[in-house]
Amino acid sequence: MQELGQLPGIGARTAERLAFHLLKASDEDALGLAEAIRDLKTLIHPCRVCFNPTEGDVCNVCGDSRRDHTTICVVEQPKDLLAIESTGSYQGVYHVLMGHIAPLDGIEAGDLTIDALVARVRTGLGDGSGERICEIILATNPTVSGDGTSLHIASLLEPLGVKVTRLARGLPTGGQIEYANKTILSDAINERRNF
Amino acid sequence: MQELGQLPGIGARTAERLAFHLLKASDEDALGLAEAIRDLKTLIHPCRVCFNPTEGDVCNVCGDSRRDHTTICVVEQPKDLLAIESTGSYQGVYHVLMGHIAPLDGIEAGDLTIDALVARVRTGLGDGSGERICEIILATNPTVSGDGTSLHIASLLEPLGVKVTRLARGLPTGGQIEYANKTILSDAINERRNF
């Protein structure tokens, strides 16, 4: 119960319920869970190229030759990568920062995978093709720390001459103007596009 | 109670409570409300230029010479105008459509103030300056009916050679990528901007 209670979102009562469920469950089910947790820690490690968790040397996206390896989408967390993958609108590859710069929480730029990203851009595809990275899409969260992280990365990438873009910001599709807050509406007006 | 119960969001119980409140209230308060409602219907009418409700001939925005009268922001409802005004980021004038095209609800293009908008663009500022309208910002809601209305208006404005833009669509500032739905994320990727 003590171990289960350390999981996020699981309080003392839920931990108790889970523990009794495991006690009643078959050996197979309970040991299956234990095995899966052990595998998670021993088999899963960051992709050598983009730091997305994977079992292999490189992740599924980096290993897929049909994807556009000259466009890199930079995300904070693996779950952001999954969210963008689920749209099916992105054909490039990724780079997972593993967090955002937050000096107050003691997270500096050096704690993220920014150096590896800069090295990726500097060396090009690195598959012997000599092809260069064309575009870096900064897809950090549209928050203060996400914007700060993007700004820092953009300043590092600028001297390398690579095209740097960021996700569009504005009204969420399906929303209503009257319920949008002032910041969202200001962004939507200032970043307006040709129809 | 019957009359009060016809207001939106006010059920039988609330109507009862309001009616008894008015019964207990001073003559001054109760008659003040009655007077305000009468004034609303007799004094308030659409602005001659932009259809924003006003007491005067033209509304405060249209009558303000410090605003940029060559840029018109087209909104569905007066409350959208108020939302955009509250941001303080927009210096142009408005045009209120008074709804959106919704054939299933029997609202056709002719029921809106689209003809008046086209006439505004065609005749220019109409203040004798001979100045022409530079930009129309289509700020309908980012919904199916809002988009349809914008598309219809854009097709009417195209032959007039005026620049037509629309509000930016993408991630709402302050939001999180992992909680954005697929449509929002697709928009954010497809409409990405240079950093």
> Does the pLDDT of residue B127 top 80, yes or no?
no
In single-letter form, the type of residue at position A139 comes to: A
Calculate how close chain B gets to A145, using CA atoms only, in Å: 10
> Does the pLDDT of residue A181 top 80, yes or no?
yes
Rounded to two decimals, the pTM is 0.79
- Residues of A with CB below 8 A from B177's CB? 75-76, 80, 83-84, 139, 141, 167
Calculate how close chain A gets to B156, using CA atoms only, in Å: 13
* Contact yes or no for A182 and B142 at CB 8 A: no
Q: How far apart are CA B60 and CA A54, in angstroms?
A: 60
ipTM greater than cut 0.95: no
Task: Report A:122-151 residues touching B (Cβ under 8 A).
Answer: 137-139, 141-143, 150
**Which CATH number among 3.30.420.40, 3.40.1360.10, 3.40.50.10380, 3.40.50.11930 corresponds to the domain B64-166?**
3.40.1360.10
> Does the pLDDT of residue B85 top 90, yes or no?
yes
Q: Closest-CA residue in chain A for B158?
A: A195
pLDDT, chain B, mean? 92
Calculate how close chain B gets to A32, using CA atoms only, in Å: 29
Domain edges within chain B: 4-43, 64-166
- Residues of B with CB below 8 A from A138's CB? 195
Q: Token pair for residue A59?
A: 């992740």
Under 8 Å CB pairs connecting chains A and B tally to 187
Q: How far apart are CA A113 and CA A99, in angstroms?
A: 9
pLDDT digits (tens, 9 = 90+) for A113-142: 999 999 999 988 766 676 789 999 999 999
| DSSP conformational letter for B103 | G
Q: Which residues pair with B74 in a beta bridge?
A: B95, B138
